[in-house]
Structure 1
C-alpha cells in the first residue's frame, strides 16, 4: 500500500500508524454515528439559535457522520486529507445555510466545535493505546496533522460553496421571497398587499400549508426534486390553483397551496383517510395544516403543519406518510413539554403504555373505541375487524389499566392520543448523550 501522507513515510511513523492510528481509524468509522451525535450536541449547546428545527439537527447529524467516516478512511489508508472532496451532505449544509441566512462565521464555528470534539476522542484513544511515551508523541503529532489538515481543507471548500451559493441567492428573487415568508411567520408583516407583491403569491385567498421532508439525503442528490414532486401531488389532490414553495434546508421544504374558493371537506378528508397522493415516494413524509384564509391563515396553517411534523418525528417509523394537523392536534398540544408528556402518559396508562406490538394494538383499539363514543360496530368498521374483536381487545386493555373505561374521564383519551409519540419522547435528546 502506497502511503500518500508525507509525515507517515518515516519508518518509525509507519510503525506507529500501523499499530495505533490505523486501528483508531477503523474504530472511528465504527463509532461515527455516536461521535456525530456528541459533536452535534456540542454545536447545539454553543449555537442553539442555529438548531431551531429538528430537521436541521438531522441534517447536521448526517453531514457530521459522513465527514467522520471520510476522515476515518483517510487515516486507515494513510491518505492525504488535502486531496479529498467533501461529502454531498456536507456541501448541502453549506448551501442551505445561505437560504437560512446563517452567517459564514457561524458556519465555520460549527466546524471548529466538531473538530474539538473529534480531537478529544482521538486524544483519549491514543493515550489509551500507546503505552510508550515516544510512540504516543509520534501518534499525537500524526493525528493532529491529519485532523487539522482535513478540517482546514473542509472549511475552505465549504466556504467556497457557501459564497457561490450566496452570490446566486442574492441575485435571485428567492431571497426576497424567503425574507417575506420569514417576516410573515414571525408576525412582523401584516400588510397583505405588500406581502403578496414580495411573495409573488396572492395571500388574500384560501391556503393549506404543508411541509415535506426526508430523514436523509438521497445518494443521487435528488432530494429537493423528490420533495417538490410530493408537494405538487398534494396540491393536485387538494385541488389547489397556485403553489408557493419555501426551502427549509437540504432535507425539508414548506409549501402553501391556495385557491379562490375554500378547500372542500372531501379534499382535506382524503388526506386523513390516507388517499394515495401522486409523487410521494417511500421515505418522504408530509405534514399538512388546516385550511386558512388571508395573511393570518397563511401563517397559522404553516405553524399547524410544523406542529404535525414534530409529532410525526416523535412517532418515528410507525408514523403515516401524510399526516393532517387535525388528526394529531391533541398530541401536538400535549407533547410540547416532553418530560411532562412522558410522565402523564405513564401515569394515566401504566402497563398499557408498553411499546410492544401487541400492547400497542390494544391501546389503538381502545382509542378508536372511545373516539366512536364506545360503539363496538363503528370502531370495528374503522379498524376493519369484527365487533367481538373490539370487545375482546377493550377488555384486555381494561385489565392492563386496572379499571373499567365505561365512565372514564378525558385524561384517558388525551393520553391515548399522545401515546404514539411516546418512543420519540423517551429518546434522549442529543444534548443528553
Structure 2
C-alpha cells in the first residue's frame, strides 16, 4: 500500500492533495490515460457485468452500457485535464440514454446508481495501479495525487448519480403514463410461467391464448435514424409479417422501449416457415425481425418467446444484416443455444474448422459449398443443382474444404455441420481471428 496522503516527505514538504504540483501531475496523468479509455471501459464493463446481473439481462442494453461508461470516463479525464468543475460539465449523451432505457425496461434505479458506485471503485483501482508505477512521481507524491483523483472522481460520480437518478424517475413516470401497463403485466406473467386465467388474459390482451403462436421481436439499433415513432414502425413490420404468414387474427404487440417491440402472431394449424418469407416482406434496412417456432396455447406462447429471444441473441452476436431471421432456419435452433456463450462458441468453431474458419472470400465459398453439400446428403448432383454449378466444381470445393479441415467428413460430420452453421450465424465478416 502507498503511504497515507497526510504523510510528510524527508525535506519537510507536505504534499497535500490540493497543491499546484499535485494538480499538474494529475492533469498529466489524465492526459496519458485518455488514450486508454477503451481499455478502461472494457475493464469497468466486465466488472459491472459480474456484480450487477440486471444490467446484462438483455443483450440490446450492452452497447449502451459500454457507451455510457466510455462517455463518463472521457468526461472525467477531460474535466481533470482542464480543471472544469462538475457543475460546468455536460453529462454524456449515452449515460442519459442508458438511464432512460433502464427506466423504460423497468430495471431498478438501484441498479443504475450502484453501477456508478461500483464503476468508480473499479476505475480508481485501475488508475491507482498506473499512478503507483508512474516514473515521474516521487514516492511521497503518490498518495497525494491519488487522493486528489479520488476527490475529483467522487465529486463527479456524486453529481452524475443525482442527474441520472432524477432523469430515470422522470422517464419512468412518463413511460408508465403512456403505455398499456396491464397488457405488459399480463404478458410478463405468461412469460414467467405463473398461473394464467386464459379468459381474463384474453380480455386484457385482446388476443386468444389458445391459438397457435409465433413469437416475434422487432428492433432497430439505437443509432438508427427516425426512431421517434418506433412502435408505429415496428407495428407495421410485424403486421406485414403476419399478413405474409396468413395470420387469421390481429397480432399482439408490446412496446419494450423506443428500439424494441415484442409480438405474437397467430398462425393457421398448417403453417410452416418458408425461407422465402423474408423476400416477401417490404422491410427497411433499419428494422430487424426475429421469429420463434410455432406452438399452441399459453405454454406455446411462452416457449416461442424464449426461442425468439435466443434468435435475436444470434443476430446481435453476428451483426447480421438480414431483415428476417427464424428459429426454424436450418441450424438456427442449435446455434441459438450456443449463442448463450458467443466467445466460447466461436472458439469451438475455430477448433473444429481450423483454417477453414479464417475470414477470406475463398474460405467463405468453401464453407457455403460444404454446408450445402451436407444439407443435401453429400450428393454432388443435388448440391450442384442447388447452387447452379457444375458437379466437378462442387467436388473440387468439397475436397479443398476437407483438406483444410484435416479430416474426412464422415469422421466428424455432426460437429463439422454444427460448426459451419454457427460460423454462418455468429461470426462477423472481417473480424480478425485471435492469435
TM-score (norm 2): 0.79
> Counterparts of 2:32 and 2:231 in 1: how far apart (Å)?
35
CA shift for structure 1 position 253: 3.2
Pairwise CA RMSD? 3.5
Partner of 2:126: 121
> What secondary structure, in the 3-state scheme, does the structure 2 residue paired with 1:212 have?
strand
Cα pair distance change 1:114/1:277, threshold 3 Å: farther
Counterpart selection for 2:80 from 75, 78, 90? 75
**Residue 398 (structure 2) aligned to one of 394, 398, 401:** 394
Give me the whole-angstrom Cα distance separating, in 2, the residues matched to 1:290 and 1:278.
22
Would you say 1:168 and 2:213 are equivalent positions?
Answer: no
Equivalence for 1:325 = 327
Residue aligning to 2:38: 33
Asked whether the equivalents of residues 342 and 426 of structure 2 are also in contact (C-alpha less than 8 Å), the reply is no
Can you list the C-alpha shifts for 1:245-272, whole angstroms capped at 9, x where unaligned? 334456543222346x458557x5333x
Output aligned runs, 1:28-427, within 5 Å: 28-129=33-134, 130-132=136-138, 135-136=141-142, 139-214=145-220, 217-218=222-223, 222-223=226-227, 225-226=229-230, 229-230=233-234, 232-239=236-243, 242-248=250-256, 251-258=259-266, 261=268, 264-265=271-272, 268-271=274-277, 274-275=278-279, 277-282=281-286, 284-314=287-317, 316-317=318-319, 320-327=322-329, 328-334=332-338, 341=345, 345=349, 348-383=352-387, 385-405=389-409, 409-420=413-424, 423=427
Q: Given that residues 56 and 249 in structure 1 are in contact (C-alpha distance below 8 angstroms), is that contact kept between their aligned partners in structure 2?
A: no
Deviation of 1:372 after TM superposition, in Å, equals: 2.0
Q: What do residues 49-89 of structure 1 show as CA deviations (whole Å, max 9, x unaligned)?
A: 44222223333112212222222322233222223343333
**Partner residue of 2:9?**
none
Higher relative contact order (CA 8 A, sep 6+): 1
Task: Judging by fraction of residues, say which structure has more helix.
Answer: 1
Report the structure number with the largest CA radius of gyration: 2
Deviations 1:175-195 (A, max 9, x none): 322222221111114322222
Distance in 2 of aligned mates of 1:376 and 1:34 = 49
In structure 2, do the counterparts of structure 1 residues 88 and 279 end up closer, same or farther at CA, with 3 Å as the change threshold?
A: farther
SS where residue 307 of structure 2 aligns? helix
Between stretches 347-356 and 175-184, larger displacement belongs to 347-356
In 2, Cα distance between the equivalents of 1:132 and 1:334? 51
- How many residues matched? 406
CA distance in 2, matches of 1:123, 1:226: 44
In terms of mean alpha carbon deviation, does 179-188 or 326-335 score higher?
326-335
Q: Secondary structure at the match of 1:148?
A: helix
Q: Is the 8 A contact 2:210 2:298 kept in 1?
A: yes
* C-alpha distance in 2 between matches for 1:81 and 1:99: 27
Q: Work out the CA distance in 1 between the residues paired with 2:356 and 2:112.
A: 45
TM-score by length of 1: 0.80
- Within 1, Cα distance between the matches of 2:258 and 2:19? 41
Question: Residues 61 and 308 of structure 1: is their aligned pair in 2 closer, same or farther, counting only changes over 3 Å?
Answer: same
Which deviates more, 180-189 or 247-256? 247-256
Name the CA distance, whole Å, in 2 between partners of 1:212 and 1:305. 10
SS in 2 for 1:326: coil
Alpha-carbon contact 1:230-1:280 (below 8 Å) kept? no
Structure 1 stretch 299-308 or stretch 395-404: which is displaced more?
395-404
Per-residue CA deviations over 1:92-123 (Å, capped at 9, x if unaligned) read: 32233234332222321111011111122332
**More moved, 205-214 vs 107-116:** 205-214
Q: CA deviation at 1:393?
A: 0.9
SS at match of 2:223: coil
Q: Which whole-Å deviations, capped at 9, do the CAs of 1:226-260 have from their partners, x for residues lacking one? A: 5752552243143155343334456543222346x
Contact preservation (8 Å) 1:82, 1:149? no
User: Is the Cα contact below 8 Å between 2:190 and 2:196 reproduced in 1?
Assistant: yes
Once the two structures are overlaid, the 10-residue window that deviates more, 247-256 or 293-302, is 247-256
Tell me the CA shift for residue 135 of structure 1.
Answer: 4.8
Q: Helix, strand or coil for the counterpart of 2:275?
A: helix
Aligned to 1:9: none
SS of the residue 1:90 aligns to: helix
Q: Mind listing any 5+ residue stretches in structure 1 that lack a counterpart?
A: 1-11, 428-433
Conservation of the 8 A alpha-carbon contact between 1:263 and 1:291: no
Q: What's 1:430 paired with?
A: none
